[in-house]
Structure 1
Amino acid sequence: MKIRLSYIAAGLSLAVALAAFQAYAGELTDRIASGKSIRIGFANEEPFAFPDSNGHPVGFVNAITLGVLKQMGYENVETVVTDWGGLIPGLQSGRFDMATGGLYILKSRCQSVTFSEPLAKVTDALIVKAGNPKGLHNYADIAAKGATMVTGIGYSNIEQAKKAGVPEAQIMQVPGQTEILAAVEAGRADAGASGYLLSRSVAGKSGGKLDVTDPDAMPESTQNWVSIAFRESDKDFVEKFNEAQKKYIGTPEMMKAVEPYGYDAKLLPNDKSAEWVCANR
C-alpha cells in the first residue's frame, strides 16, 4: 500500500509540474517543442531587414536575430515578408513568431507586444532635395514652414512629427521607402522622414538628387531603440532570447555580420533597457 501511494504521489507531483510548465510555456516554446520552424516576419526595409534576391533574410536586425537564435541552438527558421503596417497585426494573428523588421520600441507598441532588449540605437533624419532648398532640418522646421512630410504607414516618425506641431494634413503616409523616395523626387512631399540609416539608404538610390539632413539637428526625443517584437504570450522565450542576446551583442562575430549594413559601434544600444524605453518613448 505504501508503495502504491508513493507512486500516486509521484504521479501527482509530475502532473502538477507538467501543468505548471504548460501554463508558463508560450506559443513559440510549444511550436519549437513540436519540431516546427521559428517564423520571422519583416518588411522590405533596408538596411534593417529585407529579403535578398533569393528571399533569404538579410539586414542588420535579421543578422543579429539569426546570430542570437544560433547561439540558442535554433537554426530552423522560416521567413515571412509583409508590408510595414502588417508587422504587428501579423505577429498578433500568428502569421509569424517574431517581428524583426526594425521596429522602434514605443510606449504605444509596448501595449500590444513584448519587446526584446534593444539591439540598436538610431536617430531620425529627413530626406530632402539636393541642397535642401527649403531649409528643412527637423520636424519643427516642417511645422513652421508649412511643408509636406512623407513617411511610412506605422512609422514612429508620425508621432514625432505631431509632437513637434506638424498637423496631420501635412503628413503623407505611404507603404514604405520606395514610395517615400518617389514622393520626394516628384515634389509631392518636401521631406521624407525615417530613421537616419534608412534615410541614408533611400537617398543613396536617388543618383545625387536627394540629400540626408544631419541627424544631430533632430531633438533628443527622436533617439529610438530598435528591438524585436514578440507576442505577449511568449515572454518565457523572450527571457531566454535576452540572455543569449546579451552575450552576443557587440561581439566581433556580431559586428562582422552587421558591417555590410552600415551598423557600427555608434549604433550599439548601450545601457538602455526595453522597460526604460517603453516608459520614455
Structure 2
Amino acid sequence: MSFVKTAAAAFAAVAISTTATLAGPLQDRIDGGETIRIGFANEVPWAYPGEGNKPLGFVNTHVLGVLKEMGYENIEPVVTDWGGLIPGLQANRFDIITGGMYILNTRCENVTFSEPMAKVSDAFIVQKGNPAGVQSYKDILEKDATMVTGAGFNTVEAAIKEGIPENKIMQVPGPTEILAAVRAGRADAGAVTFFTAQALAKENPEIEVTDPGALPDWTQNWVGIGFRHDDADFTAKFNEAQAKYLGSEAMLNSVAEYGYDEKVLPKGEKTEWVCANR
C-alpha cells in the first residue's frame, strides 16, 4: 500500500473514531433504532401520564414537538416520583427529564439543561380564606406556620434561604400529598409552582392560591429539559431545534390547553446565566 493510501486510511480511521467519541449515549441509542426514553413524574399540568402512560402536560407536549422537528418520534415514556428524576437519568433508566424541572445551580452539577423553555413563578395553596394569613415565606416564619412541599422541590431551598427552620418544612412525594396535608390542616400552606397551584385549586374548591407576586423576585425560575452530561451533542441539536420551535404558532397552540401562553416564554435568558444565578 502506498504512503498516500496509508495516510488516507489512517485519517479516515481517526475521523470515524472522533465521530464515535463525539456521539453520546442517547445518539447511539437512536442510531441503533432504540427508543428515546422520557422521564417525568405526575405533575399536572407540567408533565403527567394519561391512559397507557401517554405523556401529557405542557412540558411533555413541547418536548415531543421539538423531537418531532428533529425527526424523532420513537418515544418511550417512563413515569417515576419527582425525587427519582435526576437519579433515574444518572442511572440510565431514561434519557431525558421532561418533568418541568427548574434550572438550579445545585441541579446543574448533575444535569445538563437545555436552554429555558419557560419562566414561571411559585405560589402557595392554602385553605379557603387563608386562615393562617400566609402569602410569603416571611409570613410562614413570622407566624410560626408549617409549610408542606415536595421532596426535591426548589421550594425547599427557597424556604431555608428565607430562614424557615427545617422542622417547619414538611416534605412529601408530590402534589397529591401536598394537597392532602393542606386540606387536613397538617400544614398551613403548600408550596408549589403557580401552574400546579392553579390546577389543584381548579379541582378542589376548598383550596385557594396565593398571589405569586408576594414572593421575592429571586424565586422566579426558568424551566429546562434535562439531559446527561454525556449527551452534550444531542443537547446542542435539541437547543437548535427548540430555538426555531419555541413560541411558534404550532407550539403555542399545542400547549394552550395546559395554560401555557406567550407570557410564560423566556425573554432570552441563557441556561449558563440561570445556572450561575439560581
What TM-score range do you get, normalising by the shorter chain? Answer: over 0.9
Query: Which residue identity is paired with 1:38?
Result: I
The alignment partner of 1:67 has SS state of helix
Query: Which residue identity is paired with 2:230?
Result: S
- Give aligned-pair identity as a percent: 58
> Do residues 27 (structure 1) and 6 (structure 2) align?
no
The alignment partner of 2:260 has SS state of coil
- Alignment partner for residue 45 of structure 1, among 27, 43, 50? 43
- Alignment partner for residue 101 of structure 2, among 100, 103, 126? 103
The alignment partner of 1:22 has SS state of helix
Partner of 1:253: 250
1:165-180 to structure 2, matched below 5 A, reads 165-180=163-178
Q: Give the CA deviation at 1:33.
A: 1.0
- Alignment partner for residue 150 of structure 1, among 148, 151, 155? 148
Partner of 1:263: 260
1:233-248 to structure 2, matched below 5 A, reads 233-248=230-245
Q: Give the CA deviation at 1:54.
A: 2.8
> Do residues 227 (structure 1) and 216 (structure 2) align?
no
The alignment partner of 1:204 has SS state of helix
Cα contact 1:114–1:231 (8 A) shared by 2: yes
Partner of 1:194: 192
Separation in 2, partners of 1:227, 1:47: 16
Residues 63-91 of structure 1 show CA distances to partners (whole Å, capped at 9, x for unaligned) of 11000000000011111000000000000
Q: Give the CA deviation at 1:35.
A: 1.0
Cα contact 1:147–1:170 (8 A) shared by 2: yes
Partner of 2:113: 115
Query: Which residue identity is paired with 2:264?
Result: L
Query: Which residue identity is paired with 1:143?
Result: L
Residues 124-173 of structure 1 show CA distances to partners (whole Å, capped at 9, x for unaligned) of 10000101111100111111111000001100000001111111000000
Partner of 1:7: 5
- Which consecutive unaligned segments of at least 5 residues does structure 1 have? none
Separation in 2, partners of 1:57, 1:133: 37
- Alignment partner for residue 276 of structure 1, among 266, 273, 276? 273
The alignment partner of 1:132 has SS state of coil
- Which consecutive unaligned segments of at least 5 residues does structure 2 have? none
Runs of 4+ in 1 over 2 A off after TM superposition: 4-7
Residues 21-42 of structure 1 show CA distances to partners (whole Å, capped at 9, x for unaligned) of 1111111111111111100000
> Do residues 209 (structure 1) and 206 (structure 2) align?
yes
Separation in 2, partners of 1:76, 1:173: 36
Cα contact 1:99–1:229 (8 A) shared by 2: yes
Q: Give the CA deviation at 1:205.
A: 2.0
The alignment partner of 2:126 has SS state of strand
The alignment partner of 1:96 has SS state of coil
Cα contact 1:60–1:258 (8 A) shared by 2: yes
The alignment partner of 1:54 has SS state of helix
1:57-72 to structure 2, matched below 5 A, reads 57-72=55-70
The alignment partner of 2:51 has SS state of coil
Q: Give the CA deviation at 1:270.
A: 1.4
Q: Give the CA deviation at 1:200.
A: 1.1
Partner of 2:137: 139
Q: Give the CA deviation at 1:119.
A: 0.4
Q: How many residues align?
A: 278
Separation in 2, partners of 1:177, 1:50: 12
Query: Which residue identity is paired with 2:124?
Result: L
Residues 98-137 of structure 1 show CA distances to partners (whole Å, capped at 9, x for unaligned) of 0000100000000011000000111010000101111100
Separation in 1, partners of 2:46, 2:148: 19
Residues 197-247 of structure 1 show CA distances to partners (whole Å, capped at 9, x for unaligned) of 0111112221x1110001111100110011111000001110000000000
Separation in 2, partners of 1:53, 1:186: 29
The alignment partner of 1:13 has SS state of helix
Separation in 1, partners of 2:140, 2:261: 30
TM-score, scaled relative to structure 2 = 0.98
Separation in 1, partners of 2:3, 2:72: 41
